[in-house]
Structure 1
């Protein structure tokens, strides 16, 4: 497939990029610093910011689906909601229906799937980021697109194992899961409608 990838320079985004190319997909990635992504067959890097509608539209043009793995860190203003707003607008304008976005367990109706200490952390140091993810999910749900929102547990840089739990069962609790395994699950959704307009957990 031809995929528009947003958040390609982040930890999970790099895994989606590497595995997607290895699986034979063509990927167009939007990056503020394109030189941080090594050239590779099947990769087209677009220089730009996800808050710039023109850059987002350029990245989306001619693709079959979009994958959004936007993330925020530290004191920077979170980009998840505003970036997703522009991705959704571009997809609607260009007639692209399939959107797969990665948020987090603890967002929306998955609050009880994370341990108590993380719920406290969400209120103290991650409040802005979690609020941005909440708004991001609302925008996606209201978009009219064919969306799937993937909610991983605590992310690690470990290798792909293939040994992870996934699905919409609320008994799935947030445990540590590698970004590589999350990327594997995300890419599976491109050709699988099982979780269409649903919010599966990965842990």
Structure 2
């Protein structure tokens, strides 16, 4: 596949770029600062802003899929809502139907599955950030594109864990405690998900093996 990655200089996006290359995909990184892209051998780098839908559409020409791994500051309550409409428009202009977007566990109704203390944080201290995520997730769901939205649990910079799991949210009853995964695990799952047609139209939790409870 030819995959356009947005957020290739970030914690998740940079690792997704690496794993996509290792999986044999052709990778294009669309970034504001090309000099910040690390381990870029074999990657086509295009400079641009995600809110420039024309330039983004040009970068997406010929791509089979777009992976969106961008995020705003915790204090910015509208970054994703500003960016996602331009991303959707660019995808449609370039005739790229497949799009996988990284959200965050705690956005919207996913918070209902969290432990009470995490649910409180998601809706109060971090409320502005997670409301923005939820609103932009809804925009993508309504776009008509072949979307998948991914909801990772808390993330950290550490070697990959072997116990990560990806589960459709409609199979998940609860996410107990505060499970934490390395960024690399999310990147690995994204590369699998983008190539999996069964994931189209799904919202998927990425967590630890013990960081979820199934619905009965």
What TM-score do you get using the length of structure 2 for normalisation?
0.87
- The answer to whether the 8 Å contact 2:56/2:90 transfers is yes
Q: Which residue pairs with 1:166 in the alignment?
A: 166
Quickly say closer, same or farther: Cα 1:158–1:78, change in 2 above 3 A.
farther
Instruction: Give the CA RMSD over aligned residues.
Output: 1.7
The answer on whether the counterparts of 1:25 and 1:42 sit within 8 Å (CA) in structure 2 is no
- 1:124-135 matched pairs, under 5 angstroms: 124-135=124-135
Q: Is the 8 A contact 2:147 2:201 kept in 1?
A: yes
**Residue of 188, 191, 196 corresponding to 1:192:** 196
1-structure distance, mates of 2:197, 2:37: 30
SS class of match (1:57): helix
SS of equivalent residue, structure 1 residue 24: coil
Cα distance in 2 for residues equivalent to 1:51 and 1:191: 26
The alpha-carbon deviation at position 78 of structure 1 amounts to: 4.5
User: Structure 1: where are the runs of 5+ without partners?
Assistant: none
Matched, 1:60 2:83: no
**Deviations for 1:3-44, whole angstroms, at most 9, x for unmatched residues?**
111111110111101111122211111111110113633311
Please give the alpha-carbon distance, in whole angstroms, between the structure 2 residues aligned to 1:39 and 1:162. 23
Gaps of 5+ in 2: 208-216
1:104 & 1:144 partners in 2: Cα distance?
A: 21
Moved more, 186-195 or 39-48: 39-48
| 140-149 or 70-79: bigger deviation | 70-79
Q: Deviations over 1:81-121 (max 9, x none)?
A: 22221111111122111111110111232112222222222
2:123 matched residue in structure 1:
123
Aligned to 1:15: 15
**2: distance between equivalents of 1:160 and 1:115?**
25
Structure 1 or 2: more strand by fraction: 2
**TM-score relative to the length of structure 1:** 0.92
Partner of 1:178: 182
Distance 1:99 1:9, change over 3 A: same
- Residue 80 of structure 1 deviates from its aligned partner by 1.8
